Amino acid sequence: MAEGKTKTIVENRKARHEYHVLESFEAGIELFGTEVKSIRNGGANLKESWCDVRNGELWLKGAHIAPYEKGNIFNRDPLRDKRLLMHRREIERLYNQVKQAGLTIIPLSLYFKGSRVKVQVGLCRGKKIYDKRASAAAADAKREIDRNLKNSRTPS
């Protein structure tokens, strides 16, 4: 088992804006060598990606991993579906919640755990427009409070 520090590669900030994250899970991801090298160079994007359960397996769709510039014939399609590795019971539980409660599975971040690439997936419910406005207003209020606290602490 790969133990060690985690290093975030890319976060899906749009997911936190568009969805309420109810639960999050860690999943391994099945990649080829040139894809891992491209990820190490920062060539990954999760912006328009989602997860789907097919035949009892969890798949990452729409994630873009740029072709490795020195990869020549070994490069894969940047938008190919990538299999996520989780325990069968976890996948079945996610699948049941998606089918019954109308939730969706969204990748939240991609990170290294030791030498392995992991994906944090979230069980999410879509936000309504007024939820997005409330989240934005709360973030603005927090930013304003932090700015005021910072200004009040600095000696003039």
150 located within any domain: no
**pLDDT in single tens digits along all 156 residues of the chain:** 446 688 888 888 888 878 888 889 999 998 877 788 888 888 888 888 888 898 989 999 988 888 877 767 667 766 788 889 999 999 999 898 888 887 889 999 999 888 888 999 998 888 788 777 888 888 888 898 988 888 887 665
42 located within any domain: yes
40 located within any domain: yes
CATH number at residue 54: 2.40.280.10
Coil, helix or strand for 29?
Answer: strand
Residue 101 gets the label, from left (phi > 0), alpha (psi -120 to 50) or beta, of alpha
Domain tally, the chain: 1
Q: How far is CA 12 from CA 9, 63, 109, 154, in A?
A: 10, 10, 6, 34
137 located within any domain: no
For the entire predicted model, the pTM comes to 0.74
Q: Mark out the alpha helices in 48-124 (DSSP H runs).
A: 88-101
CA 35 from centroid of its chain's CA atoms: 17
Per the structure, the complete domain to which residue 94 belongs is given by 6-127
Rounded Cα distance, 23 and 21, in Å: 6
